[in-house]
Amino acid sequence: MALEAVEAVSRAEDQAKEIIAQAQSEAKSILAQAEKAGREALETARVKAQEECQAKLAQAEAAGKAQGDKALDQAKQEAQALRQAAQERMDAVAARIVERIKGVGAG
């Protein structure tokens, strides 16, 4: 009977070792799956952040171009107005010079 008890304890220890080995194997598998899922989630987040960054950069570039174009158009209009005003002043000055020359020649 003592031999049977020893054998039963031995079998129980062997089963316990097998259960522990299976549990360790499952734990390693779960850990590997969790690490893989974590890497995939990190990569997905990185790609999403990069896409969002590129989209915001494109929006900023478009807005900057629109503002630049608007400022350029406004500067062109102002330059044209200055040219026109200068031309009108030059015409007026030229007319005064001609009048003075006529006045000097007549006298």
Give the tens place of pLDDT for each residue, 35-67: 999 999 999 999 999 999 999 999 999 999 999
Residue 73: what pLDDT?
A: 96
Task: For residue 5, name the pLDDT band (cuts at 50, 70, 90).
Answer: confident
The stretch 73-99 carries a mean pLDDT of 93
Domain ranges within the chain, ordered by starting residue? 1-107
Residue 71: pLDDT band (50, 70, 90) is very high
What pLDDT is stored for residue 105 in this prediction?
Answer: 64
For residue 29, CA distances in Å to 18, 38, 85 come to 16, 14, 83
Q: In angstroms, rounded to a whole number, what is the distance separating the alpha carbons of residues 55 and 72? A: 25
Average pLDDT on 86-103 reads 89
